[in-house]
Structure 1
Amino acid sequence: MLQESFLRTLDLPVADRFEAWTQQLGRTHAPMELASDRAADYRGHQRVIGLGDVTVWPATFDHLVFRRTPKLVRRSDPEAFHLSLLLRGEGEAVWGRQQAAYGIRDFHVNCSSRSYDITTGPDPVTIVGVEIPRTLVALPAGQADRAIGRRISGREGTGALLAQFLVQLAADTNPYRPSDAPRLGTVVADLVTAVFAHAVDDDLRLPPETHDRTLFLRVRAFIHRHLADPDLTPARIAAAHHISRSHLYRLFQTEDVSVAAYVRDRRLANARRDLADPALSTTPVHAVAARWGFPRAPEFTRAFRTAYGLPPGEFRRQARFADTQTCGRPAK
């Protein structure tokens, strides 16, 4: 599991909640002046997921006004870009004479080196925020800065790839090891570079390694959408992305895994998750296997035993027993 920290203001005395939230966001991004019409009893929850030099922070919070003044910029500048993917609520931002309003699945982009005012709507908002050092965005500084203040869609193109990655990561960090953190941070940095490049200039030439990284993420997203198809072969994956099989193999070589092994491992991981899910306890093992691209039960059993050390039926029984023991344990 990745290293995480969190703050939930409801765990604090009412009088301390807004000040704790202000300090938390100052540490997460950069020092800011915050105000809210809910400050007397502020409700906010934030998780902070460390990915090496990159930080991802899912959060839900009450109405808030963020103000980063020129004085605060001079006092402390971590020199980082910030992106917020808005999942619920609404917001608007002002940079001098520049203004932008944001809706669901829009990205807001700002930078700790600039002053700004951001105001959320009256209802609570849910976002997935990203903090990334300016040095990790592989574009000339002047070009990267042109992305600041733009409303970037997370519903299509490279924005959708970044949004999908962030939402999936925020939903469940359990499948990842601590050693995965810097590699995931590199994925975020490459996607942010691609999103910025597309936003400021459709014709901007990206470094070849960034093109390959973005293509790899597109391929991976395609694989995840088609895991249930037992005919998901390297030839089909390559054809869907208009590349040769040798190009596809090279993409996965940089990840130290073969295409077939990646597909198999993702299928097994999803099947394992479903077998441990109490809500699916009446679904036959062979049906779970077929759901994730294993139409032949013996093949699934062999692959599952090899990966996890026991057959799927036994794994389900142990998971059910562990869940029963946990549910019966008194709360601390």
Structure 2
Amino acid sequence: MHGTGAEADGARGVFAVDSTAPGSAPRGLDEFRRGWETQVGDEVFQLPAFSPDTIGDFRVKGTVAKVHGAAIADLHAASATRTADVPGGDQDLVAMYVVRRGAWTLGGPPGHGDQTVSAGQFLVRHLGRLTAFETSAHLTAKFLVLPPGELTPLLGNRVVTGPADSAEMRLLTAMADMIHTTVADLGPAGVAAAQATLVELTKAVAKGRFDDVEPRLAPALTRAAKDIADRRLAEPDLSPAMLARELNVSVRTLHRAFAAVGEQVTTYIRHRRLHEARLALAAPSGRLSVSELAAHWQFADGSHFTRAFKKHYGQTPTEYARSAAAAAAAAAAPLPPNRRPPGRGPAEGA
């Protein structure tokens, strides 16, 4: 397990755990619990009592980040886990479970049955007490703990469920991923903003719509849009309008979010396509022609592609391909005798 940078006031913390390596499972739960208590703390979420078979076989890999009263865990569990109800385990928080693979079964509130979150689904609810849960083996999931203040009045006693790839969940997932990569370097203002943004995005999930006048959500919206664009760069219908539809926002909202972080949607798409075309031009074999690359990456024709490429990289595609080939050939060519490193001559080892 590796931990980094918990602030003295406990406002942030991050740790990683990997008990999937051979021989590490018996101490895996201890390391996870130690990391949680040190970097997150029981005041955010009290870990439950795990069953004896879980204690002996706890094979989990993941990262956990804390920002103020919120925590995000990305977990990949090879083993199944089971916990028990804790008498007097009162809590007041909102929990979200986003399952990509496997299943997570949650103990229901008094008078209600268990609730199972299957692969491709999410569930968010208020927790008033620590309840038992069970996870399947080979689980991939994201678990969020959130402060109840603004969310409990919105949720009430409801359990909100839905698809994990909904527009609102894409935004929340993008923000959670950004927090994981930046939390260790965030200052106090950044930590507070990160928690506030998580809460706002969870509101969007609960309402089924995005608050397009909330400026703090712009980074999450742009990240989610970029993730979709990166996966669909070669598709002819990739456009700001398509991205806006996928994220359930207006085109104006999408443009405004990109502008807030100093970018433009169309510029991002064009530069990413040019980058992929540049990689293809440097490929050692099977290189497409300029016209084929232009068609593949959705440029109007070869001349438009050539102009855009030269403007961005300072060379035409043909010039770049020649220079890349020459550099590759020079790197592969054997050094002349007078340039060989010492001790590598023909007589070495004689």
What TM-score does the superposition give when structure 1 sets the normalisation length?
0.62
Distance 1:151 1:251 in 2: 27
Matches within 5 A, 1:21-100: 21-25=32-36, 28=40, 29-35=45-51, 37-49=53-65, 55-61=71-77, 62-67=79-84, 69=86, 71-73=88-90, 80-94=93-107, 95-98=109-112, 99-100=114-115
Change (3 A) 1:197 1:162: same
1:209 alignment partner in structure 2: 214
Q: Contact between 1:216 and 1:251, CA under 8 Å: does it hold in 2?
A: yes
Q: 213, 218, 234: which one pairs with 1:228? A: 234
Q: Does 2:200 correspond to 1:195?
A: no
- Structure number with higher helix proportion: 1
Q: Percent identity over the alignment?
A: 16
- The CA deviation string for residues 189-232 of structure 1, in whole angstroms up to 9 with x for no partner, is 4332211123xxx8xx9584289859767765664455335785
Which residue in 2 is equivalent to 1:329?
none
Choose the corresponding residue for 2:143, options 129, 137, 162: 129
Which one has the largest radius of gyration? 2
The secondary structure found in structure 2 opposite 1:257 is coil
Give the deviation of 1:262 after TM superposition: 3.0
After TM superposition, the score normalised by the length of structure 2 is 0.60
Unmatched runs of 5 consecutive residues or more in structure 1? 322-332
State the SS of the aligned residue for 1:116: coil
* Structure 2 equivalent of residue 326 of structure 1: none
Pick from 168, 175, 181: which aligns with 1:158? 168
Q: Render the CA deviation track for 1:58-98: whole Å, top value 9, x for unaligned.
A: 2122211234635343xxx6x65332211221231122222
For 1:259-278, list aligned pairs within 5 A: 259-267=265-273
Letter of the 1:151 partner, please give it. Answer: T
More deviation in 232-241 or 25-34?
232-241
Aligned residues: 293
Alpha-carbon separation, structure 1, partners of 2:245 and 2:170: 21
CA RMSD of aligned residues (A): 5.1
Deviation at 1:249, TM superposition (A): 3.8
What is the rounded CA distance, in whole Å, between the counterparts of 1:119 and 1:226 in structure 2?
36
Moved more, 257-266 or 91-100: 257-266
Question: Which one of the candidate residues 257, 262, 270 is aligned to 1:256?
Answer: 262
Partner of 2:155: 144
Taking structure 1 as reference, are residues 69 and 241 closer, same or farther at Cα in structure 2, changes over 3 Å only? closer
Q: Deviations over 1:231-271 (max 9, x none)?
A: 85667877999998766543432233233333334445666
The alignment status of 1:299 with 2:320, answered yes or no, reads no
- C-alpha distance in 2 between matches for 1:288 and 1:190: 42
Give, as a single letter, the amino acid of the residue that structure 2 aligns with 1:47.
T
- Taking the aligned partners of 2:129 and 2:163, their CA distance within structure 1 comes to 22
Whole-angstrom CA distance in 2 between matches of 1:23 and 1:101: 28
Q: 1:260–1:54: structure 2 CA closer, same or farther, 3 Å change rule? A: farther
Cα separation, 1, equivalents of 2:111 and 2:141: 25
Structure 2: runs of 5 or more not aligned: 6-13, 332-350
